[in-house]
């Protein structure tokens, strides 16, 4: 078990070093950290020490309770509970949960990071993710179910991306069009996605499941941040370059 964890830690360190040389090091590092946290936890099923069957289920529940957000515990004044909206951003419940979130972060994170800047993007991601989970917990303050995942932070990235790059084309797969991949501008895709999250959050009034409300809060925070930070987008007037000597008419 010790040798496995040492090897996993060594691989994570090498991946983080490689991430620094990428065009979007913060986005890449966040993806690496989320994948490393999942692979080393009981949810992935890759560590034999967690056992199998009922033992594995108990290990998963204990792991999520330790690192995830429990709304009923969050507002008790406990310092450890107050940190869980930050730690929960790096914990995922299943392979599907992890890969879906990382795909969205990979697609929308790099351009947003480049526009915002590395340090500011890091603070933006963690801060908006924290507030999104906090808002969700406040709406379900009596719940004892655990909330994990980076969805709130990634939704904030989507909101900022919409404001910063509304005309950027995004490949989308729509079920009612027989899952045909389409290239649509962000101002079409992302508001449609946000509206679906809003409708789903309204129907999920009975308590936690998929944290649709955290998605809505994160998206609004991200869009609001980009609007407040960058203001009205400026138009750059392009002046034609002077003609070369050979192109000038005599």
Q: So which residues are the catalytic ones?
A: 151, 215
> Around Cβ 146, how many Cβ atoms within 10 Å?
21
246: left (phi over 0), alpha (psi -120 to 50) or beta: alpha
- Helix 25-40 to helix 95-116 angle (10° resolution) is 160
Distance CA 134, CA 71 (A): 8
Distance CA 137, CA 71 (A): 5
Distance CA 234, CA 99 (A): 36
Counting Cβ atoms within 10 Å, is residue 33 exposed (0-12), middle (13-18) or buried (19+)?
middle
CB 27 within 8 A of CB 106: yes
Distance CA 185, CA 175 (A): 18
Collect all residues with Cβ–Cβ distance below 8 Å to 200 and sequence separation of at least 6. Answer: 210, 212
Main-chain phi, psi angles of 179, to 5 degrees: 60, 30
In this structure, is the dihedral angle defined by the CA atoms of residues 232, 219, 225 and 182, taken in order, positive or negative?
negative
DSSP label at residue 21: T
């Amino acid at each position: 078990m010790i040798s496995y964890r040492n090897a996993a830690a060594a691989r994570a360190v090498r991946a983080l070093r490689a991430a620094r040389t990428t065009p979007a090091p913060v986005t890449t590092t966040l993806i690496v950290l989320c994948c490393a946290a999942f692979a080393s936890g009981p949810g992935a099923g890759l560590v034999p020490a967690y056992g199998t069957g009922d033992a594995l289920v108990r290990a998963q529940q204990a792991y999520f309770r330790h690192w995830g957000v429990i709304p009923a515990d969050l507002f008790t004044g406990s310092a450890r509970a107050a940190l869980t909206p930050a730690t929960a951003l790096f914990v995922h419940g299943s392979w599907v949960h992890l890969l879906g979130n990382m795909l969205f972060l990979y697609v929308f994170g790099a351009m947003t990071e480049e526009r915002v800047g590395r340090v500011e993007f890091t603070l933006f991601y963690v801060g908006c993710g924290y507030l999104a989970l906090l808002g969700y917990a406040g709406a379900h303050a009596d719940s004892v179910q655990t909330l994990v995942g980076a969805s709130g932070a990634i939704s904030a990235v989507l909101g900022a991306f919409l404001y910063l790059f509304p005309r950027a084309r995004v490949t989308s797969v729509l079920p009612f069009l027989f899952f045909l991949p389409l290239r649509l501008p962000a101002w079409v895709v992302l508001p449609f996605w946000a509206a679906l999250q809003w409708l789903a959050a309204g129907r999920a009034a009975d308590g936690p499941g998929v944290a649709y409300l955290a998605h809505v809060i994160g998206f609004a925070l991200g869009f609001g941040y980009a609007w407040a930070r960058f203001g009205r987008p400026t138009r750059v007037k392009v002046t034609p370059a002077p003609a070369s000597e050979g192109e000038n008419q005599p």
